[in-house]
Amino acid sequence: MKTYIIKCGKLYDGKTDVLQDKMEILVEDNRIKEVDKHVAAPAGAEVIDLSDATVTPGLIDAHVHFSFGDWRTRSHDAIYEAPIYKGMYALYNAKKSMLRGFTTIRHCGCNCDDGYSVVVAKRLLNDGHFVGSRIVQAPHYVSTTRGHGDFSQLIMTNPKLSTYIWENYPGFGSGPDMFREVVRRQVKYGADFIKMFASGGFNSEADGPEDYTFTDEEMQAIIEVSHQMHMKVASHTYSPELAYKQIGMGIDDIEHGALFNDPKLLDLMKQKGVHFVPTFTPYESVIKLDEDNLRKQTPGMQRKLRKYQEWLMDARKVIVNSDIPLGYGTDFVAVHNPYEGGWEYNSMLTSGVDPFRALAAATRVNADILSMPNDIGAIAPGYYADIAAWKRDLLTDPHALLDCYFVMKDGVVYKTEQDI
């Protein structure tokens, strides 16, 4: 059993919205044992001096797609790369994100047509065969045929090949019974939660963010069967109209909500305890009027981002001015690669989100969203020894979470990306 005393210059503990000066953390094995001004050093304890840095809990990204390699080739890779390539990329992304201070991620579905690659990656990490972030995952997108998740649309000019891909993916189809079966299989083979593609999107050629393809009966069936098995359901949702409908059905978690320009909707979500992960980053180029970045998107995405620009900008203000707890999710590989978690902090701070609200998002709010509120997202006795440290000023520098200075996961210290 390894024991460490970590001396913190400043400490954000994930529980209270302050930076505490000169605190010490006692780590025993893979858990935090004590946090105080001075902790008594047990014999053999190793001292880690972070007195020139700000220490936080290991951070959490609640919305990534870990089975992609590079965001610029994601559509090509979805169709043409081998399933094993996608599964192994999850291991690569897990390592890279951990070395950047994001010690837990939630994988929101993939297009691994052999199924369950990320379940296997998670098992290999948990067994200690590889190192990387802890993974909470939904193996497959659950989507209707032609829904936003149906990536066989990428080659719909070739119906024979497109149908072959569609048939081999476990999450696509139509009808409440079909979706009951899909959800049961996801859980049977290791899902931690269910991810539903309810709205269309920006990142797809054939549909738009106001479209939705499930019938009420299909959505209700997914939610009902998931809840029977104590699974939360997270939904990719854009329009307020669809969100109201889903809240009435008992949805647990709404992702994106980039068109939520209705303050009453956010109040209702808060009152009902519906989690909200707004994933600011993918819409930055149009909200922040960055033409250079916008031109890097696919033609279809550029067209849609421009079409919805004003609505996106209005909704961003409504979300920032609301008091719903915000989750922290990058939606990478939408833009940037899946391990570059610090970009969402930049998006939040430059949109006017208070830094402590953004830090809470990446720690205690996300811990709750991942159903791990007593294990991750805080530096307090009993929590996993998942700890990061940063040299830049977290309260003033939007790029602060892009440069991780120190990382420990499960009580083990790793060289950060800056060191290797």
Stretch that binds Zn ion, among 93-101, 102-110, 357-365, 407-415 (CB under 5 A): 102-110
Give the interface segment with Zn ion, choosing from 79-87, 107-115, 137-145, 163-171 (CB under 5 A): 107-115
How far is 403 from 419, CA to CA, in rounded Å?
11
What separation in angstroms does the CA of 187 have from each of 195, 227, 311, 362? 12, 11, 37, 26
Instruction: Give the nearer residue to Zn ion in terms of CB position, either 7 or 86.
Output: 86
Cβ neighbors of 325 (< 8 A, separation 6 or more) are 270, 276, 360, 361, 365
Tell me the residue length of the chain.
420
For residue 10, what are the β-bridge partners? Answer: 21, 54
CB nearer to Zn ion: pick between 108 and 182: 108
Structural contact between residues 328 and 365, judged by C-beta atoms closer than 8 angstroms: yes
**Closest by CA position to 323, among listed 353, 298, 299:** 353
Map residue 146 onto helix, strand or coil: coil
Q: How far is the CB of 217 from Zn ion (least distance, A)?
A: 25
In 3D space, the residue among 411, 403, 372 whose CA is nearest the CA of residue 14 turns out to be 372
* CA dihedral (368, 369, 372, 377) positive or negative: negative
Q: Work out the number of other CB atoms within 10 angstroms of the CB of residue 392.
A: 17
Stretch that binds Zn ion, among 5-13, 53-61, 100-108, 198-206 (CB under 5 A): 100-108
Minimum CB separation of residue 70 from Zn ion in Å reads 16
Applying CB under 5 A, what is the total number of residues that bind Zn ion? Answer: 2
Q: List 55's β-bridge partners, or say none.
A: 11, 389
Cβ closer to Zn ion: 24 or 331?
331
Judge contact between 111 and 119, C-beta under 8 A. no
- Applying CB under 5 A, which part among 152-160, 211-219, 297-305, 328-336 lies near Zn ion? 328-336
The residue range among 101-109, 125-133, 171-179, 195-203 that interacts with Zn ion, by the rule CB under 5 A, is 101-109
Q: How far is the CB of 63 from Zn ion (least distance, A)?
A: 6
CB of 4 to Zn ion, least distance (A): 36
Q: How far is the CB of 297 from Zn ion (least distance, A)?
A: 15
Residue 225 or 334: which CB sits closer to Zn ion?
334
If binding is defined by CB under 5 A, does position 253 make contact with Zn ion? Answer: no
Grouping H, G, I as helix, E, B as strand and the rest as coil, residue 297 is: coil
Q: How far is the CB of 257 from Zn ion (least distance, A)?
A: 12
CA distances from 30 to 50, 382, 407, 412 (A): 19, 10, 13, 7
Q: Is there a contact between 86 and 114 (Cβ–Cβ < 8 Å)?
A: no
Which of these segments, 14-22, 265-273, 309-317, 326-334, binds Zn ion (CB under 5 A)?
326-334
Supply 368's token pair.
Answer: 């709750």
Which residue has its beta carbon closest to Zn ion? 331
Closest CA to 64 of 395, 333, 291: 333
Report the residue number, 283 or 384, with the smaller CB distance to Zn ion: 283
Contact 151, 111 (CB under 8 A): yes
The smaller minimum CB distance to Zn ion, of residues 197 and 390, is found at 197
Q: Which is nearer to Zn ion, 193 or 405 (CB)?
A: 193
Residue matched to tokens 């994933």? 279
Residues 271-300 that bind Zn ion (CB under 5 A): none
Nearer to Zn ion, 284 or 417 (CB): 284
Compute the Cα dihedral for 156, 109, 100, 335 and give only its sign: positive
If the CB atoms of residues 13 and 150 are measured against Zn ion, the closer one turns out to be 150
CB of 189 to Zn ion, least distance (A): 21
Please give the Cα distance from 58 to 207 (Å, whole number): 37
Query: Would you state the structure tokens that stand for residue 17, as one six-digit string?
Result: 């919205």
Residue closer to Zn ion by CB (options 62, 91) is 62
Give the nearest distance from C-beta 255 to Zn ion in angstroms: 7
CB of 65 to Zn ion, least distance (A): 6
Tokens of 339: 């391990």
**Does 61 sit near Zn ion (CB under 5 A)?**
no
Nearest to Zn ion of 19, 110 (CB atom): 110
Asked if 331 is part of the footprint of Zn ion (rule: CB under 5 A), the reply reads yes
The torsion angles phi and psi of 405, rounded to 5 degrees, stand at: -100, -30
Residues that bind Zn ion (CB under 5 A): 108, 331
